[in-house]
Chains A and B, each alone.
Chain A
Amino acid sequence: MLRGSLAILAIVGIQVGTAQAAVETGAAAPDFTLTDVAGNEHTLHDHLGSIIILEWTNYDCPFVRKFYNPGVMQEWQKAMADQGIVWLTICSSAPGTQGHFSQEVWKQRMEDWSVVAPVLLDESGDVGRAFGARVTPHMYVIDTEGRIAYQGAIDSIRSVNPDDIERADNYVKAAVEALLAGEEVEITDTTPYGCTVKYE
């Protein structure tokens, strides 16, 4: 019996205080096609075969600014791209809500922060709801076969202080490193922290 329980633990990985997710970890990530702020279309399943990171964002959310103001998120995005990992940032802010910008403002804000990862616009919130994205930043790591390998917080310290980034456990980085090494992802689900996604 004990051996059976341990085996189950090994399969499902560790869940840190999580609520019910819209898509269970281990299940196939819902496919979608969204247009980025430059007008380019991105279809999730076009990237199958690569590890994919999805990041829900709202540039005016203090928890998002914690990572972008010091340039940390941009560094991670570049480092991941250098390893062949696809990083898609998604904004589900509805028109008239915080974090929703015109195309011109988006381009300016991305330029101000030197962001190179594409920002995909999900004004209807359909994609955000399909994934169960609740906050910004809410992170998902998808394996090469299109299954969700990790979902939840970006790291272990719920704060808006950039000083906390370095001493926090980075769950996304850990999940990606495990996948690259062909190992099981140890922590598969955590409770995300941040601002609520501004759905319509």
Chain B
Amino acid sequence: MKKILIIYVFIFAMMLSRASADVIKSTISIHAGVNAFQPGYTVPIALRIEVPENWYTYAEDPGDAGMPPNITLNAPEGVEIGAWRFPPHETFSDSVGTYYGFKEEVVLLNEITIPVDVPDDVHFKGIFHVVWMICKDICLPFQDRVTLTLPMASDGEAVVEVDDWDALLEAGGWADGEENAERAAD
């Protein structure tokens, strides 16, 4: 059984790397909204997906074809993550159906909570494994891993928002930056 799973994983990796190795490139990056974390408090995070010209990636509800990004987090025990939030999508149609997604780039939002009992002076490290798809007349799957590291705030140190957070969100489909993103989460 284990052997079969290994073979599946290998084939899947080959299938994805074949697409990724093509001329067409789509990339991801992970961002934290603050410069450090405080144990027991939430940290806003953003996953950015860049989409090549004339292609699109899919929304949470992809419509009649395709698939939404699949994101899994490998992080220390006790770290909690919420549901990923998508900005307003575009609608695409052809003779076959209607699809929902994003051109150029999209930023998905979430929060992680790092437990209160983490040792002092540690860095948070979380590895996000992402499988996503881009399409136009054909579809290409991609997969990648991105790592988020964040230092713990020192006692009495204020946690501050990173400089480019609002700009990141606005470019990624959240028209009014974080304020709009917070409303969407309500």
Choose among A135, A195, A199 the residue that contacts B138 (Cβ–Cβ < 8 A). Answer: A195
Which B residues are CB-close (under 8 A) to A19?
Answer: 64
* Main SS class of interface, A: loop
A163 close to chain B: CB less than 8 A: yes
CA distance A66 to B14 in the complex (A): 11
Q: Are B97 and A161 in contact (CB under 8 A)?
A: no
Given the known A-B contacts A70-B8, A160-B141, are A62 and B15 also in contact in the complex, defined by CB atoms under 8 Å? Answer: yes
Question: Quick one: which of B1-35 are within 8 Å of A by CB?
Answer: 5, 7-9, 11-12, 14-16, 19
Find out whether the CB atom of B137 lies under 8 angstroms from the CB atom of A98: yes
| B133 within 8 A of partner (CB) | yes
Task: For the complex, count residues of B whose C-beta is within 8 A of A.
Answer: 29
Checking A97, A161, A193 against B131 with a beta-carbon cut-off of 8 angstroms, the contacting residue is A161
In the bound complex, residues from chain B placing their C-beta under 8 Å from that of A135 are: 64-65, 96
Of B16, B64, B68, most A-chain CB atoms within 10 Å: B64
Pair A196/B141 contact, Cβ less than 8 Å: no
Interface size class of A (residues with CB under 8 A): 20 to 34
Contact residues in B for A159 (Cβ distance below 8 Å): 67, 70, 131
Given contacts A160-B15, A162-B12, A62 and B140 within 8 Å (CB-CB): yes
| Chain B residues, Cβ within 8 Å of A97 | 137
Give residues 56-76 of B contacting A (CB, 8 Å): 62, 64-68, 70
Give the A-binding residues of B (Cβ under 8 A). Answer: 5, 7-9, 11-12, 14-16, 19, 62, 64-68, 70, 94-97, 131, 133, 135, 137-141
